[in-house]
Amino acid sequence: MRIGVLNGGGDVPGLNPAIRGCVLRAMDFGWEVVGINEGWKGLIEGLTESLGISQVEDLMNKGGTILGTSRTSPYKVEKGVERCLQNIRKLKIEAIVAMGGEDTLGIANKLYKEHKMKVVGVPKTMDNDLSSTDYTFGFDTSVTLAMNALEVLKNTGKSHRRIMVLEVMGRHAGWVALFTAIGGGADWVLLPEEKADIDSMCKHLKRVYERKKIATVVVSEGIEVPGEKISKEKLDQFGHMLLKERGMGEGIARVIRDRLGVDTRVSVIGHMQRGGAPTLFDRMLGVRAGVKAVELIKEGKFGQMVSLRGTEMMGVSLEEAVGKLKTVSPEWIDFAHTLFK
């Protein structure tokens, strides 16, 4: 048996351990592993490398992905799907492990349904917004990095008697912002799932600032702006734009400065929260997901995605996993408000 492994979308810490998991489990079955470079682009163009023990020997602590990645959709490239299918035949690949978020796994699901491609999915995204799994690897590391950044901002903010705003990634789900704010002990959080209540935020920050001579706010890059128009040219092949460009953190800092008359600074952590060495949690989740994906192939469970449920790894329907984005629930939002005092 010869299997292909690819990862698409943004890189996340945990991908390299997951690749390692795939290769080590495939070795148990005497299978060959072909690494497909740069996501679906690699399958369209036939960009591959052979993966064996030496390629995955020293990967547990490495951020990023040794395979390279891209945000390519075979459905948006001329003859993209046809070329993927041709290359699978040419490279004698019998099954594929596709690691990704809603976009990459959405393609995997479509190819499985429309072309019977033998594919299993591995959920990875720092946004943690995939349904049918409790967590995705990449999330824990990126929140830990953002939380540490908040700690640093508190020190300088307190010294200068300032209000500090930290803008974090996470696209249209607020999990990264929410967990950063809770874990880092911020004073307010703004999420894409909740209409920003600027009056309440400013009242609250005024009280906090009078008490502590510092206040901190975590802003998700994806917060909603009523009536915002986005030009089509700014969208990638999956219809997403680079949300960081909207400068939501800067906008919120300006409002706070104007309303409260307090010196306010903004920091955008951006890609620095994505490229770090994986935390223990992401290493464990990544390597377990890689092993499980190969086991799903062994069992012939195509069209499934590896999922973490509680402490167990299992297979779930890929179709269900990509059907709906997992955003922050009202229960989580209520819980958060209890903590911002």
Q: Catalytic positions, please?
A: 127
Whole-angstrom Cα distance, residue 287 to residue 17? 5
Site string for ligand F6P, 139-158 (x = CB under 6 A): --------------------
- Contact between 283 and ligand F6P by CB under 6 A: the answer reads no
- Contact between 243 and ligand F6P by CB under 6 A: the answer reads yes
Whole-angstrom Cα distance, residue 306 to residue 67? 20
Whole-number minimum distance, CB 168 to ligand F6P, in Å? 8
Q: Which is nearer to ligand F6P, 241 or 313 (CB)?
A: 241
Among the listed ranges 45-53, 81-89, 121-129, 315-323, the one in contact with ligand F6P (CB under 6 A) is 121-129
- Contact between 249 and ligand F6P by CB under 6 A: the answer reads no
Among the listed ranges 20-28, 122-130, 146-154, 211-219, the one in contact with ligand F6P (CB under 6 A) is 122-130
By CB under 6 A, name the one of 242, 272, 280, 339 that touches ligand F6P.
242
Whole-number minimum distance, CB 293 to ligand F6P, in Å? 20
Among the listed ranges 36-44, 163-171, 298-306, 318-326, the one in contact with ligand F6P (CB under 6 A) is 163-171
- Contact between 125 and ligand F6P by CB under 6 A: the answer reads yes
Whole-number minimum distance, CB 224 to ligand F6P, in Å? 15
By CB under 6 A, name the one of 19, 67, 126, 165 that touches ligand F6P.
126
By CB under 6 A, name the one of 4, 10, 14, 17 that touches ligand F6P.
10
Q: How many residues bind ligand F6P (CB under 6 A)?
A: 12
Sites of contact with ligand F6P (CB under 6 A): 10, 101, 125-127, 169-171, 221, 242-243, 274
